[in-house]
Structure 1
Amino acid sequence: MDSLDTIVQTLELKPHPEGGYYKETYRSEGVISKDCLPQVFQDQRHYCTGIYYLLKSDDFSAFHKINQDEMWHFYMGDALELTMISEDGALSTVMIGNDILNGQVPQFVVPKNYWFAAKISKPNSFSFLGCTVAPGFDFRDFTLASCKSLTELFPQHETVIKSLTR
């Protein structure tokens, strides 16, 4: 068993539908009532949730979006290349890592409703991060993109969409 398998096993990470591995590490006790949330939320949500997230370089996190902002925190490994498409179609990329002097950021927030995907550029490596979501994450807030539907929305980004959808 290699060290990545040991991390996955030790932290009890499980496969994530978007790719990679995750484990919920925090879910606040307090909740926000449905009446106090925007209409996009079907029910109450916890104040906040947090997960561990591990992505290996032979995999990718496929384009998806959620109804909340998502804050990423870098822990260890190689930088994660996060690609986003805003609601108006602007494409951007950020490197989440610890090489701050070369433009990487150790923490980054993906705005709600942005489509986003991630990969590791360095072969035979991984990124281990955490994600915090508020109001708290629920899989009802998660939409995994199909290549066809996302390309129809943003045909100008067809190449990157094809490379980061399943």
Structure 2
Amino acid sequence: MTPDELISHYSLQPIPREGGLFHRTWTGPPTPDGRPSGTAIVVLLQEDDYSALHRLPHDETWHHYLGAPLEMLLLAEDGSTRTEVLGPDLLGGQAVQLTVPARTWMGARPVGGWTFFGCTMAPGFTYEEYEHGELGLLTERYPSQAERIAGLCRR
């Protein structure tokens, strides 16, 4: 399958601010406060695109489906940082699934080509809770990752 076929098959649309193309595949029933009980999306990142650094108030599970590996930068509230790679090479240290803890800054880009992945949340995603990463604040908080942060922030 090619990126163009994925775009057509899923009617993928741009993700506001974050980057990539997506389609929501599932929305759970509403909770008493009106938010969805859960959500699932599929996402395509082309070779020259990335998922900008952002954070959410709830855990989010990422799933690798097709294409190149996806390198993720994770910046924790305690100041620690780590890199994880989603992809098919399990024996080489890649994972097909990763849960990002709530309030962790996350950003990702394909490693050598395009990648197709999914994200699942419960309770579900709402745009009101999305927090976009700001370059100055993140490089001040995580100076050891300044170069990578700059490559994953949209101005």
1:20 aligns to what?
A: 20
2:48 aligns to what?
A: 58
Q: Please say if 1:156 is aligned against 2:139.
A: no
Q: Please state how far the C-alpha of 1:56 moved relative to its aligned partner.
A: 1.2
For 1:152 and 1:93, locate their aligned partners in 2 and report how far apart those are by CA, in whole Å: 19
For 2:146 and 2:73, locate their aligned partners in 1 and report how far apart those are by CA, in whole Å: 13
Tell me the amino acid that sits aligned with residue 55 of structure 1. L
1:137 aligns to what?
A: 125
Using structure 1 for the length normalisation, give the TM-score. 0.86
Q: Please say if 1:32 is aligned against 2:9.
A: no
2:80 aligns to what?
A: 90
Q: Please state how far the C-alpha of 1:66 moved relative to its aligned partner.
A: 0.7
Q: Please say if 1:165 is aligned against 2:141.
A: no
Q: Please say if 1:4 is aligned against 2:3.
A: yes
Instruction: Select 2:68's aligned residue among 71, 78, 82.
Output: 78
Q: Please state how far the C-alpha of 1:160 moved relative to its aligned partner.
A: 1.5
Tell me the amino acid that sits aligned with residue 139 of structure 1. Y
Output one character per residue of 1:99-152: Cα deviation in whole Å (capped at 9) or x when no partner: 111111111100010001001121xx2111111011110001101112112223
Q: Secondary structure at the match of 1:46?
A: coil
Moved over 3 A (4+): none
Aligned length: 153
Runs of at least 5 residues in structure 2 that lack an aligned partner in the other structure: none
Instruction: Select 1:126's aligned residue among 103, 114, 119.
Output: 114
Q: Please state how far the C-alpha of 1:24 moved relative to its aligned partner.
A: 0.7
Tell me the amino acid that sits aligned with residue 131 of structure 1. C
Output one character per residue of 1:69-122: Cα deviation in whole Å (capped at 9) or x when no partner: 100111111111111000011110111111111111111100010001001121
Q: Secondary structure at the match of 1:45?
A: coil
Using structure 2 for the length normalisation, give the TM-score. 0.92
Report sequence identity in percent.
Answer: 35
Provide the aligned C-alpha RMSD in A: 1.5
For 2:116 and 2:111, locate their aligned partners in 1 and report how far apart those are by CA, in whole Å: 14
2:35 aligns to what?
A: 45
For 1:157 and 1:79, locate their aligned partners in 2 and report how far apart those are by CA, in whole Å: 20
Runs of at least 5 residues in structure 1 that lack an aligned partner in the other structure: 35-43
1:68 aligns to what?
A: 58
